[in-house]
Amino acid sequence: MTATIVSRDPAQNSLNLDNKEVPGVMEAMKMDYPVRGAKVESLPPDGTPVDVTLHEQDGRYWVTNVRKR
C-alpha cells in the first residue's frame, strides 16, 4: 500500500497513515495502523511517503515492511 506517515504513537507502536486507495480492499483514508516487526521510532519521519505491506485478519489491519518511497 502507498501512504504518507502523518503521525505516530510510540506507546501503541502505531502509525497514522494517509493511504491511497487499495482497489477492492479500502478507499483512500487516514487511519491508525499497528506496526509489527519494527519500532515506530526507527521508521522514516512524519510527512514521508512510504510503501507498506498491509495485512488483515478478522477485520483487523496492521502494517509491516514500512519503507521510504
User: Tell me, what's the pLDDT at 7?
Assistant: 98
pLDDT at 32: 98
pLDDT at 42: 97
Q: Return the pLDDT at 15.
A: 98
Cβ-count burial 47-59 (b if 16+ within 10 Å, e if not) = eeebebebeeeee
Strand 29-34 relative to strand 49-57: parallel, antiparallel, unpaired? unpaired
pLDDT tens digits for range 29-68: 999 999 999 999 999 999 999 999 999 999 999 999 999 9
Cell reading at 36: 509489527
- Looking at residue 57, what is its pLDDT? 96
Q: Domains (ranges, CATH) in the chain? A: 2-68 (2.40.50)
